[in-house]
Structure 1
Amino acid sequence: MTAPLAPTFAHARAPGKINVFLKVGELMEDGYHDLATAFQAVSLYEDVRAYPAPDFSVTFSGPIDTSSLSVDGSNLAIKAARMLARKSGYRRGVRLEIEKHVPIAGGMGGGSADAAATLLACDALWGTEMSRDELLAMAGKLGADVPFALTGGTAIGTGKGDRLSPALAKGTFHWVLAIAEFGMSTPDVYRALDAHRERHAQDIFPAVAQPTVDAEVLQALRAGDARQLAEALHNDLQAAALHLAPGLGTILELGEQMGALAGIVSGSGPTVAFLAPDADTALDLQVSLSASRLHVIRVTGPVHGARLLHD
């Protein structure tokens, strides 16, 4: 009896996300904030193919400009592969080929999806047989959004966003994403939020140390009610993102005038997500925003998290 052949490559896919709710706690002494967020994984995916190699490398392809992405050890996918190799004792490397569709620095967790898919692909390629809990623990060390990219669906994130609990979500939500031609630095947006809060300290409620997700959000998701969710959409980072990129405000107004139930800046931006009541309205909205010379993509959620595919 012959031993089974090692796979020649492994292919994993992971989704981008929208933060349908994001509340940011007060600035702590370590320079970070606690968060309370509701994530929804949407049908815009990153594809990672992993091939045996003596060292670690990554290349990119896909419909978006990836020229700004690092391909050295600072890349999150490389970090994920190296972490798994250290954890498992694997002594060789991997060649990663990533087909990108999620906007870069767009507030949708594209880099986190790359890392999550890399963990799955390398685990399969190397036969390291890590448990789900072990993969999630590594994901949490790589970044706040990486565990959610692994789990997908709809979830509540607390702490830095990496402590996840599943949220019940019924049916399908229809989104139209307005993709900006530029990216935004997450640290810059958080700094702008802190400055905004300091400037308006007399006019706004002080941030709490440990924020929570509003009950109305959970009820809307559980009911699968897009109109109810539209009323509950919230992002504390939106004001800061609009301060740094005022043109996003015009896009938000335009989408709502063209039939969206509501629009929200996703995460730290600059992607703007518009919620539509149904598939037909989402299609009409996509056409109308495209006619206004915006780059738009129609997606649905929630969708599954990272998984292996068989080419």
Structure 2
Amino acid sequence: MSTAASAGRVHVRAPGKINVFLEVGDVQEDGYHDVATAYQAVSLYEDLWASDAEEITAHVSGDVPLGDVPVDERNLAVRAALLLAAATGTDRGAHLEIRKSVPVAGGMGGGSADAAAALVACDALWGTGLSTAELARLGARIGADVPFSLLGGTAIGTGRGDELSPALAHGRFDWVLVLSEEGMSTPVVYGELDAHRARHLVDIGPAPRQPRVDPDVLHALRQGDPGMLAAALRNDLQAPALKLRPDLARALETGERAEALAGIVSGSGPTIAFLAADDASALDLQISLSAAGLTALHVHGPVPGARVV
């Protein structure tokens, strides 16, 4: 996937994602869960510049609250660059300049997008020449969402979410995102899901043995029909996210009153994604949500995965 680096510097842009459907299986012995999800990459991006350097280092800035984003080996982009270097045997370094626009710990895969961008950028900078499939295999070792950040578009993810198959999606889907200044921990939300299921076992039954994506979701994507997709949106992590963050329920209610087709917590939250009928409806919805004191952004999907700019 190598592209000639310009003057020792490569710029890569990678998108955030929305899980338009997420069914979560029961907790496994290793503490993880199998999932079945429909991903859509949307037009909210992470930008990463990789420059020649003696070592692998990073600096992070952004349009969103950065919280405690690390810049050492705990940073997923740094981890990706180190993994690529080890896998290809290169002794070159890179300085990674990361500008974040995807909410940190927001359920939109911002860290995974950074890792995907680092893989693509360093592959180009170092001329290691790995294919997208090879980069995706490395990415899966970093996080389940990284392979999708490389692929982009719309895809079905199974296993831990990293076993991908592209999904046919026609047309454009317009979303309005409501952002939160405070992120959420994915492991904590999954833990609350397990507790929620244990508390309500009689009412909701056991977790699915083999999660699967609802065929109605696939049909809606193929038809490019926002109304049909709105009726099929589902996220098993939404109930535990709302339990942990009651303010998200109020934001969902605000969007529904503002005539969104539907709203859903994205991934493990706290970002909420409202689906609109079209571009004009999304603009009206964004204005209404902003007037209600919420931080709202209009995005669209599907868009391509991590690419050299």
TM-score (norm 2): 0.97
For 2:141, the equivalent position in structure 1 comes to 141
Counterpart secondary structure, 2:183: coil
The offset of 1:64, in angstroms, is 1.4
For 1:61, the equivalent position in structure 2 comes to 61
**Does the CA contact (< 8 Å) of 1:7 and 1:125 recur in 2?**
no
5+ long unaligned stretches in structure 2: none
Measure, in 1, the Cα distance between the counterparts of 2:26 and 2:7.
48
**Does the CA contact (< 8 Å) of 2:61 and 2:98 recur in 1?**
yes
The amino acid across from 2:110 in the alignment is G
Counterpart secondary structure, 1:183: coil
Change (3 A) 1:304 1:5: closer
**Does the CA contact (< 8 Å) of 2:65 and 2:103 recur in 1?**
no
The offset of 1:67, in angstroms, is 4.2
TM-score (norm 1): 0.97
Deviations 1:274-301 (A, max 9, x none): 0000111100000010011111110000
The offset of 1:100, in angstroms, is 0.5
* Counterpart mapping for 1:149-298 below 5 A: 149-298=149-298
For 1:104, the equivalent position in structure 2 comes to 104
Change (3 A) 1:126 1:5: closer
Change (3 A) 1:140 1:5: closer
List 4+ stretches of structure 1 deviating above 3 A: 4-7
Counterpart secondary structure, 1:120: helix
The offset of 1:65, in angstroms, is 2.2
* Counterpart mapping for 1:35-74 below 5 A: 35-74=35-74
For 2:303, the equivalent position in structure 1 comes to 303
Counterpart secondary structure, 2:203: coil
Counterpart secondary structure, 2:298: strand
Change (3 A) 1:213 1:51: same
**Does the CA contact (< 8 Å) of 1:14 and 1:114 recur in 2?**
yes
Q: Does 1:17 align with 2:17?
A: yes
Deviations 1:51-88 (A, max 9, x none): 11111111112211224101111110000000010111
**Does the CA contact (< 8 Å) of 2:132 and 2:150 recur in 1?**
no
**Does the CA contact (< 8 Å) of 2:92 and 2:126 recur in 1?**
no
Measure, in 2, the Cα distance between the counterparts of 1:144 and 1:132.
16
Counterpart secondary structure, 1:142: coil
Measure, in 2, the Cα distance between the counterparts of 1:253 and 1:5.
48
For 1:82, the equivalent position in structure 2 comes to 82
The offset of 1:29, in angstroms, is 1.1
Please provide the CA RMSD for this pair.
1.1
Counterpart secondary structure, 1:23: strand
**Does the CA contact (< 8 Å) of 1:16 and 1:113 recur in 2?**
yes
Measure, in 2, the Cα distance between the counterparts of 1:209 and 1:30.
16
The amino acid across from 2:26 in the alignment is E
Please say which of residues 56-65 and 109-118 is displaced more in the overlay.
Answer: 56-65
Change (3 A) 1:300 1:208: same
Measure, in 2, the Cα distance between the counterparts of 1:288 and 1:136.
39
Measure, in 1, the Cα distance between the counterparts of 2:214 and 2:78.
36
Change (3 A) 1:259 1:121: same
Measure, in 1, the Cα distance between the counterparts of 2:258 and 2:132.
43
Measure, in 2, the Cα distance between the counterparts of 1:134 and 1:223.
32
5+ long unaligned stretches in structure 1: none
**Does the CA contact (< 8 Å) of 1:178 and 1:294 recur in 2?**
yes
The amino acid across from 1:8 in the alignment is G
Q: Does 1:120 align with 2:93?
A: no
Counterpart secondary structure, 1:170: coil
Change (3 A) 1:282 1:213: same
Deviations 1:202-241 (A, max 9, x none): 1112112211000000000000000000000000000000
The amino acid across from 2:218 in the alignment is L
Counterpart secondary structure, 1:250: helix
Percentage of identical aligned residues = 61
Measure, in 2, the Cα distance between the counterparts of 1:202 and 1:8.
60
